[in-house]
Amino acid sequence: MEPSESPQSGMTLAELLVAMTISTIIVIAAYAIFRTHHVIAMKQEETTLMQQELLAATAQIAEELRMCGYSPTGSSDFGFAHRPGAGMPDYGRVTNGNGIYCTMDGQGDGTIDESGGGSSADHIGFRLNVRDNGAPRTPADNVLRKFDTGAVKWQPFCTNIGELSFIYRDREGGIIADPENCTRDIRMVELRVTAVPSSDREYLGVANRTMTTTVWCRNLQEHPR
Q: How confident is the model at residue 176 (pLDDT cuts 50, 70, 90)?
A: very high
SS3 content of the chain, % helix, strand, coil (to 5): 30, 25, 45
The per-residue pLDDT for 9 is 62
Q: How confident is the model at residue 2 (pLDDT cuts 50, 70, 90)?
A: low
Amino acid (one-letter) located at 220: L
Q: How confident is the model at residue 29 (pLDDT cuts 50, 70, 90)?
A: confident
Round the CA-based radius of gyration of the chain to a whole number and report it: 30
The per-residue pLDDT for 197 is 94
The per-residue pLDDT for 223 is 45
Q: pLDDT per residue over 199-212, tens digit each?
A: 888 888 899 999 99
